[in-house]
A and B are shown apart, each in its own frame.
Chain A
Amino acid sequence: MAFINLKKREVQVKIVYYGPGRGGKTTNLEYIYNKFNQRIQTQMVTIKTQGDRTLFFDFLPFDMGKIKGYDVKVQLYTVPGQVKYNATRKLVLRGVDGVVFVADSMTVRRKHNMLSLKNLQQNLASYKKSIFKVPLVLQFNKRDLAEQGIPLLSLETMQRDLNTHLKAPTFEASAIVGTNVPETLKKIISMTMLSLEKELK
């Protein structure tokens, strides 16, 4: 549940980028930070291990300005994708308002996508949240790799594997070059804000 301060008329919205390791979650945030920093006027915090992997989380906060008389502050987080860091993933999910699931389009990563989505469902359930009710956007990342001859999952396969029951909005993306990265972000913020609308009296 978003933090809403009725007295100060301030809303804090937490969006988490979730998905398998090396799927491009951090790259999404880095693209947003590098491309839009002039506008969002913020700093990105990232804690990496020596191998350039996310150790704890990445964090990118920014102000959206006033909406319906409220100062809206958005906080973007990523989780560490590696299986062993589930406690951290679970912790970062606490109080989440919206989720972007970044799936890896490479054929060899098919099973990892499905396991990670299952893991998301379980971790949300531990906070009594349903993956079917939380605002959720699926991003099929790394579509650009097809140009390099790397075998990719077809969009139909990814839809069938991940979205048959969820029916969430999806974006084909390339976080490294930025294709559909802003669109993904705009969609999840828009969905999340609409889900909070009733609370903003």
Chain B
Amino acid sequence: MDEEARKTFADEVDSRLEDLFGEDEKPTGEDAPSLEDLEIAVEADPAEEVVEALLGKDEVPTAQDLPEAEPGGTAGETSPLRELRSMVLSIDWEITDEVMGTFLDQVESLKGAYGQDRWASLLLQGLSSLGRYIRRRKGKAHPNSINVLKSLYGSLEKVVLPGKADEDEKKRIVARELERFRELKKDVAVGRGRAATVLQRPALEEIKEVIRSEFAKLRAELRSMLQGKSD
């Protein structure tokens, strides 16, 4: 077994273990663990209240109103977004720990660069939250999560690159992204509920089966011990 294949296998195992037993999610309680990142981004950030206060709740557009935002073509060679853009394109092709790690590193460094821009900060927080969720779930992430990630990135470009949007438009863009986030969060929650009900019965059956098998082994062991004594 070559070293590279072994490392990939080890990464796969570690990643799955992190999904199951990672300490940075709340594993108990009513909320789905995989939703925690999204909860933080959407509900705990006071910037969202700013958006709603500025636009009014009724004016927040729904996800259906959103145009598809495609990353690419606008972040120039010298833009701080250049690296992030290439990572977003990579995620579209493959989701690995390495790609997601680099993506999250890029987002973190941009948080520093755009710390004074409240709209960019909010979008970066969304990218960070969604990135962590996708890294944990990988192929099991909600199918729409990559689209939302791309959309968030596309909006980030519009918000930070000069001449792309005025202040009012920026507010509207961020509000749309938050709405998409909410929709995704709801979809993830629905998916999680279904999985939980399906899993319970096989687990019970499995326990019964293993116990039966263990007792059978115990009986066989006792029989062989008794036979050994009588021989």
Number of interface residues of B (CB under 8 A): 34
A36 is an interface residue with CB less than 8 A from chain B? yes
Does the CB pair B21–A185 fall under 8 Å?
A: yes
Does the CB pair B17–A43 fall under 8 Å?
A: no
Chain B's interface: helix, strand, loop or mixed, by majority? Answer: helix
Known interface pairs A34-B28, A41-B203, A197-B9; A190-B17 also in contact (CB < 8 Å): yes
User: Which residues on A sit within 8 Å (CB–CB) of B28?
Assistant: 34-35, 37-38
- Greatest chain B CB density within 10 A among A39, A61, A62 is at A39
Does the CB pair A39–B27 fall under 8 Å?
A: yes
The minimal Cβ–Cβ distance linking A189 to chain B, given in whole angstroms, is: 6
Does the CB pair B13–A36 fall under 8 Å?
A: no
A35's nearest neighbour on chain B, judged by CB, is B27
**Which of the residues B6, B10, B140 comes within 8 Å of A190, measured between beta carbons?**
B10
The minimal Cβ–Cβ distance linking B35 to chain A, given in whole angstroms, is: 11
Does the CB pair B27–A194 fall under 8 Å?
A: no
B53 is an interface residue with CB less than 8 A from chain A? no
A177 is an interface residue with CB less than 8 A from chain B? no
A186→B207 CA distance, assembly (Å): 22
**Which of the residues A34, A72, A75, A189 comes within 8 Å of B210, measured between beta carbons?**
A75
A65 is an interface residue with CB less than 8 A from chain B? yes
Task: Kindly identify, within residues 28 to 42 of chain B, every residue whose CB is under 8 Å from any CB belonging to chain A.
Answer: 28-29, 32-33
B168 is an interface residue with CB less than 8 A from chain A? no
A64 is an interface residue with CB less than 8 A from chain B? yes
Does the CB pair B207–A59 fall under 8 Å?
A: yes
Task: Kindly identify, within residues 169 to 207 of chain B, every residue whose CB is under 8 Å from any CB belonging to chain A.
Answer: 196, 199-200, 203-204, 206-207
B221 is an interface residue with CB less than 8 A from chain A? yes
B49 is an interface residue with CB less than 8 A from chain A? no
Chain A's interface: helix, strand, loop or mixed, by majority? Answer: helix
A150 is an interface residue with CB less than 8 A from chain B? no
A94→B217 CA distance, assembly (Å): 9
- Greatest chain A CB density within 10 A among B10, B18, B27, B196 is at B27
A68 is an interface residue with CB less than 8 A from chain B? yes
Does the CB pair A64–B16 fall under 8 Å?
A: yes
**Which of the residues A87, A182, A189 comes within 8 Å of B23, measured between beta carbons?**
A182
A40 is an interface residue with CB less than 8 A from chain B? yes
User: Which residues on B sit within 8 Å (CB–CB) of A94?
Assistant: 217
A185→B14 CA distance, assembly (Å): 11
Does the CB pair A43–B207 fall under 8 Å?
A: yes
Known interface pairs A43-B204, A91-B221, A197-B1; A38-B10 also in contact (CB < 8 Å): no
The minimal Cβ–Cβ distance linking B16 to chain A, given in whole angstroms, is: 5
Does the CB pair B9–A45 fall under 8 Å?
A: no
Task: Kindly identify, within residues 140 to 187 of chain A, every residue whose CB is under 8 Å from any CB belonging to chain B.
Answer: 182, 185-186
The minimal Cβ–Cβ distance linking B7 to chain A, given in whole angstroms, is: 10
Known interface pairs A35-B28, A64-B16, A186-B17; A41-B200 also in contact (CB < 8 Å): yes
- Greatest chain A CB density within 10 A among B20, B210, B221 is at B20
A42 is an interface residue with CB less than 8 A from chain B? yes
B211 is an interface residue with CB less than 8 A from chain A? yes
Task: Kindly identify, within residues 21 to 35 of chain A, every residue whose CB is under 8 Å from any CB belonging to chain B.
Answer: 32, 34-35
A193 is an interface residue with CB less than 8 A from chain B? yes
A7 is an interface residue with CB less than 8 A from chain B? no
**Which of the residues A34, A61, A193 comes within 8 Å of B13, measured between beta carbons?**
A193
Known interface pairs A35-B27, A39-B20, A198-B1; A61-B210 also in contact (CB < 8 Å): yes
The minimal Cβ–Cβ distance linking B10 to chain A, given in whole angstroms, is: 6
Does the CB pair A189–B13 fall under 8 Å?
A: yes
Does the CB pair A189–B17 fall under 8 Å?
A: yes
Does the CB pair B217–A91 fall under 8 Å?
A: yes
Q: A34-B28, A42-B203, A194-B10 provided; 6 other pairs, C-beta below 8 A?
A: A37-B28, A39-B33, A61-B207, A182-B22, A197-B1, A197-B9
The list of the 8 closest CB pairs from A to B, nearest first, reads A41-B199, A182-B21, A186-B17, A193-B13, A42-B203, A36-B27, A38-B27, A39-B27
